Amino acid sequence: MTSDPSLAESPILVERDGPIAILTVNRPAVLNALNEATLAALDAAMAALDADAEVRAIVVIGAGEKAFVAGADINELARATASAGTGRMMAEHGQRVFDRIERASKPVIAAINGYCLGGGCELALACTFRFAAETAQIGQPEINLGAIPGYGGSQRLPRLVGRDRALDLILTGRRVPAAEALAIGLVTRVYPAASLRAEAIGFARELAGKAPAAIRCALDAVRVGLDVPLPQGQAHEAALFGLLAATEDMREGTRAFLEKRAAHFTGR
């Protein structure tokens, strides 16, 4: 595993473990709260990793043992109350960053290692999968500040857990323990805190062994299909299947199956 020690004070750290990238939100003194500088660094890191063909999967985690991301930076949020325009620009910036994560061409796994609140919950919602430590607490407490989720939470949460459960969380601002989050479909898997990082990286490594183009097309097919009528979604699926049929990886996959051996995918 490699990382750049000169970036230890950066709000976002990136490590490489073969085809896996581990992206750490690195503000443990403030429970990894998201300020504008952190969002900008997160956006830049995600853009670089998504463009890097050597990276096959990405894990996002928070620095320290207490928090994934405990929310937006309240100092900056307080300044946003100066005007409607300032608040809107802040929300739109966060939405653009999290849209990039949601639209990534490779899987992004949130390893929720502690408090995952407000903007942290919205970050996790934008990821492809959410793995939580047994000790994690997840929620959208913006209502307690006289606000609503601003980084896409009011849109992604009901799409994931349904209208009523989403409104329960948004209107009460309550924190959901990991076991309940799993039961309502808010997180994908739950692990002991000590093994969460390894489990997330192991899952990322499993996905990294699949054909990159097939992963990319599967992500796109599901993402597009959720927002269009079924016939349009199926037409999109057929078009993507056709593109994959012309790849070397699909030919390798079918040959390997017939020859009863493991496939070796090259990304071509």
206 catalytic? Reply is no
CA-CA distance, 67 to 193, in Å (whole number)?
A: 11
Say if strands 67-69 and 20-25 run parallel, antiparallel, or are unpaired. unpaired
Q: Which phi and psi (to 5°) does residue 153 adopt?
A: -65, -35
Amino acid at position 205, single letter: R
134's tokens: 């047994």
CA-CA distance, 91 to 150, in Å (whole number)?
A: 5
Say if strands 176-177 and 137-139 run parallel, antiparallel, or are unpaired. antiparallel
CA-CA distance, 19 to 143, in Å (whole number)?
A: 40
142 catalytic? Reply is yes
CA-CA distance, 196 to 193, in Å (whole number)?
A: 5
- In sequence order, what are the residues at sequence separation of 6 or more whose Cβ sits closer than 8 angstroms to the Cβ of residue 122? 94, 98, 140, 149, 151, 152, 153, 156
CA-CA distance, 234 to 243, in Å (whole number)?
A: 14
Catalytic, out of 15, 36, 102, 142: 142
Catalytic, out of 36, 122, 134, 248: 122
Contact 39, 167 (CB under 8 A): no
Dihedral angle at the C-alpha atoms of 235, 236, 241, 246, nearest 10 degrees?
110
Q: For 86, what's the count of Cα atoms within 13 Å in the CB-facing half-sphere?
A: 9
- In sequence order, what are the residues at sequence separation of 6 or more whose Cβ sits closer than 8 angstroms to the Cβ of residue 160? 125, 166, 185, 186
Query: Looking at the annotation, which residues are catalytic?
Result: 122, 142
